[in-house]
Amino acid sequence: MAVRWLDLAVLVIALPVFLALGMPLLGWAGVTGLWLLQRIAQQLLERRARASEDPTRATAVLALSMFARVWIFALAIFVLGKVDRDAGLSAALLSVVLVTVYLTSLMTSGPLAPGSRR
């Protein structure tokens, strides 16, 4: 179950990497703040979907929230890039790493993982 939170460890590890490489902290801070907000929103929406009596509505809520979060992230990276080109690039790179780690951890801890209660 701890692998499901691996993306948050990546955020913590990314800070010293950003500092060591001289990358703009605006990119790290922007992605970190947005990532934490979207993870909180995701947890709330998942609870609401599990509590729903209508599976169609639960699926729609989760699917629409996923699409919204992707677009919000893309917009945030665009805005960071407009403010500081290097910050936008570093934010995009960190976002790609985070999404990759998150999806991989989700697949390995999902409903088909050994010992899963989903």
Statement: the pTM of the whole predicted model exceeds 0.75: yes
Do the domain assignments include residue 115?
no
Tens digit of pLDDT for each residue in 49-72? 888 888 888 888 888 888 998 899
pLDDT at residue 3 greater than cutoff 90: no
In a domain, residue 118? The reply is no
Domains: count for the chain: 1
Q: Give tens-digit pLDDT for 21-53.
A: 999 999 999 999 999 999 999 889 888 888 888
Q: Is residue 10 part of a domain?
A: no
Question: Does 10 score more than 80 pLDDT?
Answer: yes
Domain of 49 in residue numbering reads as 24-98
Provide long-range contacts, Cβ within 8 A and 24+ apart, for 27-32. Answer: 27/80, 27/84, 27/86, 27/87, 27/88, 27/89, 27/90, 27/91, 27/94, 28/90, 28/91, 28/94, 30/76, 30/80, 30/87, 30/91, 31/76, 31/77, 31/91, 31/94, 31/95, 31/98
User: Is position 9 within any domain?
Assistant: no
